[in-house]
Amino acid sequence: MNEMLPRAAIRAARTNLVWLALPLLAFGVAVAWILSTDPLSGFRNGAPPVENLTFERTVFDEGGLRLLVRAGGSEPMTVAQVQVDDAYWQFTQDPPGPIARGRAAWLKLPFPWMLGEAHAVKVVTSTGATFAHDIAVAVPTPQATTGQMRLQAMVGIIVGIVPVAVGLMFYPVLRDVGREGMAFLLSLTIGLLGFLLVDAGAEALELASETAAIFQGPVMVVLAALSSFLLLMAIGRRSGAPAGVALSTYIALGIGLHNLGEGLAIGAAFAAGSAGLGTFLVLGFALHNVTEGIGIAAPILKKRPSLWTFVGLTLLAGGPAVIGMWLGSLAASAQWSALALAVGAGAILQVIVEVGAYLRRQSERGRDVFLTPPVLAGLAAGAAFMYVTAALVKI
Amino acid sequence: MEKQTRQDLLRRRSLLMGGLAAAGGTAICTSVAMGQQPANHAGHGAQAIADAADPMPSMGHGAMMTVGDVDSAANGFDPTDMLTDWDTGTVSTLPDGRTLRTFEMTAEDREIEIAPGIKFPAWTYNGRVPGPALRAKEGERLRIVFRNYASHPHSIHFHGIHAARMDGVPGAGMVDPGDEFIYEFDAKPFGCHLYHCHAMPLRRHIHKGMYGAFVIDPDPERHPEHADVARSRLLGTPENTGWQELVMVMNAFDTNFDAENEFYAVNTVAHAFMKRPIRIVKGKPVRIYLINVIEFDPINSFHLHANFFDYYDQGTTLTPTLKTVDLITQCQAQRGILEFTFAEHEPGLYMFHPHQTEFTELGWVGMFDVVEALA
Ligand SMILES: [Cu+2]
């Protein structure tokens, strides 16, 4: 093949290669210079290294208290002593030794914690810096037993799957709505999704603020939301704008990711021993989620899909609540919860865009459809219903 | 045999100490469990206890204690040695026949380990915190040659009687880095005093570690009515050697500069005397020169378990100012002499600590290990 190319073309390719290599080479030289001559030493003023410690998990069990801490110092940090309630306690560290930047370690204390009481942990590093962690209520951390998992699955089903199913049961009634009723239902979906978008975004950012600095929480949340939005848009538009069952599926997926986040929140609240998290709260979540079923049903009112489609949509939208419960109560650190919520927010945004586009296509008024009374009423009703029912579940 | 005594010790402990003591004493984890610390020095009391201790204590007792051990060799001072380490200076005779006692003191910046694994950027006298425990006799001429090798101006302000020029406050004996000053005055009044830096800001200079004990023994000839008592206090007399004398400087450290202390101690190292109880011979009476230099907290205290003591406030009297008490409180710079005996007690471990439980749990607590005789 090369023989076929004119000499000039080969030369041009070589020149290009040089121009590609040159900046990389220059950068390599700069890195080597910084590493070898340490020009930053002039800035060193004898100040102790910057230290940062994030408490990611707290576990109470019959062995005492365990804490997962992540180091975010400019240099490896050494946990020297641990105070609980203004007293020093013996502890073991796993893995032992200094904790490198970005790495996590378990601190294990044979601390006789008191059920239902508050405890204050203070980690003292070798430089004498302290990092405090307040535990509002000490309760045994749920174990990954089959019984616990089953119980949590039950709660997840009540919170996620049942309401979606109930919403979808309105399907026969909804089928008789006219054009205006349809517009109302679709905008109701957009309204409720709009609420979920704001809610998930805010929740993700709040969780992000609790994560170790190295994860750059807020940036991670925004980037994860944007990329999941773009990815789902790209997938959804492969064969034109989604409609019918496809659109319902995307709505169900977006809501499902939101319910994953909701499950995480409930699971984490259980794990943290939120005493107020009772039957009332679970029912509040369930009521809050009924609208989601109506939203999923809206695009398929004229399609008469099979029963299995409904089952699939219900599981897609509600099932993740169960998984979220398990993750939230057993393993999740703040950064993973924030990431899941951010992905959910991106997915919800994609669904809003697609439902909006669908609504526009359904109407001969084009863009102006968003200014018609049924649509404005639907948007307001969707957001308002979610807002009011959310008040039931705010802890 | 050795093993036996260890176990005996342990059994006694669990009998004698309630709650807190048991928490601290019996539950020291093995060196594997010592978090950040390298293996313990063998032969220490703590290690002996650790060998026998359950590595996973029951929840009722817990393990309320700092983890690990302070490297005294690297520090250059040891809290136990400091208990009896008097600096008597060098002695010469003045033309008028009086005794001249000369002390050499330096100021140095020094990073010290105040609790296992915790480095504190201290300002020190003679490289240690607290500074040397100076001891003189009433009526002597004292000369303190002070050289400042540190990075800030420092001074020595002595609690005692002296001229304004010798006060160690700004304008009177404040020494710039690299400079020298000689403080000179007569040793009076007798008592248990202290000295500390009086540079500004005062609070910073004190909590960084610039303080120490300054004891003036009474001259028996000046106190004929209580000559026996005076002789028992005068270092080096046969009457004095019948006593076990200890100097305890109650101090604390704010390691994160939030104006609250993270560690409390006697002679700097938190929990030092829990991990290595202070040996006391049962038959010999005990005299403690106790000084409070704690910063950030208005009051400190001393409480002795299973015993009572006589107290000489400021040590400036030869008769007790408080008789038969088991707790005294001291404001910052307050000090006094405690006298008691374990002669009627059975041997064992007897705790002492401030009755501010917070201080206790943050390191200021220790044990007297009362024995029949020194081995
Ligand atoms: Cu000073």
Long-range contacts of B21-26, Cβ-Cβ distance < 8 Å, separation of 24 or more: B21/B349, B21/B351, B21/B367, B22/B61, B23/B61, B23/B62, B23/B63, B23/B64, B23/B65, B24/B63, B24/B64, B24/B65, B24/B271, B24/B274, B24/B365, B25/B49, B25/B274, B25/B349, B25/B367, B26/B53, B26/B54, B26/B57, B26/B61
Banded model confidence at residue A369, pLDDT cuts 50, 70, 90: confident
Residues 6+ apart with CB under 8 A from A168: A293, A294, A296, A297, A310, A313, A314
CB B2 within 8 A of CB B51: no
Quote the mean pLDDT of chain B: 85
* Choice among B32-46, B231-245, B254-268, B348-362 with the minimum mean pLDDT: B32-46
Long-range contacts of B30-33, Cβ-Cβ distance < 8 Å, separation of 24 or more: B30/B55, B32/A92, B33/A90, B33/A92, B33/B67
Q: β-strand B99-115 against B118-125: which pairing, if any?
A: antiparallel
Q: What is the ipTM of this complex?
A: 0.77
What are the beta bridge partners of residue A135? A119
CB A111 within 8 A of CB A33: no
CB B328 within 8 A of CB B295: no
With an 8 Å Cβ cutoff, are A110 and B64 in contact?
A: no
Most B CBs within 10 Å, among A65, A89, A90, to test the B interface: A90
The pTM for the full model equals 0.76
Phi (first) and psi of residue B289, to 5 degrees? -90, 105
A88 vs B33, B60, B362: nearest CB: B362
Banded model confidence at residue A1, pLDDT cuts 50, 70, 90: very low
Q: pLDDT value at position B37? A: 40
Q: How many CB pairs under 8 A join A and B?
A: 101
| Mean pLDDT to the nearest integer, A204-233 | 85
**pLDDT higher than 80, residue B49:** no
Banded model confidence at residue A272, pLDDT cuts 50, 70, 90: low
CB B250 within 8 A of CB B289: no
* Choice among A125-134, A364-373, B269-278, B356-365 with the minimum mean pLDDT: A364-373
User: Looking at CA atoms only, how far is residue B63 from chain A in angstroms?
Assistant: 5
Best mean pLDDT range from A128-132, A195-199, A391-395: A128-132
CB-CB neighbours of A315 under 10 Å: 17
Q: pLDDT value at position A44? A: 64
The half-sphere exposure of A122 on its side-chain side, counting CA atoms within 13 A, is: 18
Rounded CA gap, B32 and B62, in Å?
A: 17
What are the beta bridge partners of residue B370? B280, B348
CB A288 within 8 A of CB A390: yes
| Joined tokens for residue B108 | 């140095």
Residues of A in Cβ contact (< 8 Å) with B67: 80-82, 88, 90-91
Q: pLDDT per residue over A30-39, tens digit each? A: 888 888 877 7
With an 8 Å Cβ cutoff, are A110 and B66 in contact?
A: no
| Joined tokens for residue A66 | 């365990």
Greater pLDDT, B91 or A294: B91
Q: pLDDT value at position B34? A: 38
**A76 has a chain B CB within 8 A of its CB:** no
With an 8 Å Cβ cutoff, are B362 and A63 in contact?
A: no
Q: Let me know the angle formed at the C-alpha of A16 by A11 and A18, rounded to the nearest 5 degrees.
A: 95
Q: pLDDT per residue over A306-337, tens digit each? A: 888 888 888 998 898 888 888 877 766 778 87
Q: List all residues of chain A from 117 to 136 with a beta carbon under 8 Å from chain B.
A: 124, 126-130
Banded model confidence at residue B40, pLDDT cuts 50, 70, 90: very low
A112 vs B60, B68, B262: nearest CB: B60
What is the enclosing helix (H) or strand (E) of A84?
strand A79-84
Residues of A in Cβ contact (< 8 Å) with B256: 124, 128-130
Banded model confidence at residue B238, pLDDT cuts 50, 70, 90: very high
Residues 6+ apart with CB under 8 A from A285: A159, A262, A266, A393
Quote the mean pLDDT of chain A: 82
CB-CB neighbours of A361 under 10 Å: 12
With an 8 Å Cβ cutoff, are A130 and B255 in contact?
A: yes
**A39 has a chain B CB within 8 A of its CB:** no
DSSP class of residue B37 equals P
Q: pLDDT value at position A296? A: 83
Indicate the residue type of A142. Answer: P
**pLDDT higher than 50, residue B53:** no
| Mean pLDDT to the nearest integer, A72-80 | 87
- CA torsion, points A320, A322, A328, A330, in degrees to nearest 10? -130
What is the enclosing helix (H) or strand (E) of A344?
helix A334-362
Listed residues: CB within 5 A of ion ligand 1: B 154, 197, 199, 205, 210
| Mean pLDDT to the nearest integer, B48-75 | 63
**A110 has a chain B CB within 8 A of its CB:** yes
With an 8 Å Cβ cutoff, are B62 and A96 in contact?
A: no
Q: pLDDT value at position B38? A: 38
B28 vs A81, A90, A93: nearest CB: A90
Cis peptide bond prior to A172, omega within 30° of 0? no
**pLDDT higher than 80, residue B3:** no
Most A CBs within 10 Å, among B59, B264, B269, to test the A interface: B59
Q: pLDDT per residue over B110-161, tens digit each? A: 999 999 999 999 999 999 999 999 999 999 999 999 999 999 999 999 999 9
With an 8 Å Cβ cutoff, are B115 and A90 in contact?
A: no
Rounded CA gap, A255 and A260, in Å?
A: 9
Residue in chain B closest to A48 (alpha carbons) equals B121
Residue in chain B closest to A97 (alpha carbons) equals B36
| Mean pLDDT to the nearest integer, A148-167 | 84
Residue B170 Cα to ligand 1 midpoint, Å, equals: 11
3-class DSSP state of B259 = coil
Q: pLDDT value at position A60? A: 86
Q: pLDDT per residue over A41-62, tens digit each? A: 666 666 667 788 888 888 888 8
* Choice among A113-127, B48-62, B112-126, B323-337 with the minimum mean pLDDT: B48-62
Q: pLDDT per residue over A90-145, tens digit each? A: 999 999 999 998 899 999 998 888 888 889 999 999 999 999 999 887 877 767 67
Burial of B289 (0-12, 13-18, 19+ CB in 10 A): buried
Rounded CA gap, A183 and A356, in Å?
A: 10
Supply the DSSP string of A40-75, one letter for each residue.
GGGG--SPPPP--EEEEEEEEETTEEEEEEEE--SS
Supply the DSSP string of B147-198, one letter for each residue.
EE-SSS-B--EESS---GGGS-BTTBS-B-TT-EEEEEEE--S-EEEEEE--
Q: pLDDT value at position B57? A: 41
The half-sphere exposure of A65 on its side-chain side, counting CA atoms within 13 A, is: 30
Residue B316 Cα to ligand 1 midpoint, Å, equals: 27
Residue B361 Cα to ligand 1 midpoint, Å, equals: 29
Q: pLDDT per residue over B166-213, tens digit each? A: 999 999 999 999 999 999 999 999 999 999 999 999 999 999 999 999
**A60 has a chain B CB within 8 A of its CB:** no
Residues of A in Cβ contact (< 8 Å) with B253: 128
| Joined tokens for residue B213 | 């004990």
Rounded CA gap, A352 and A207, in Å?
A: 24
3-class DSSP state of A166 = helix
Best mean pLDDT range from A207-216, A228-237, B103-112: B103-112
CB B213 within 8 A of CB B129: no
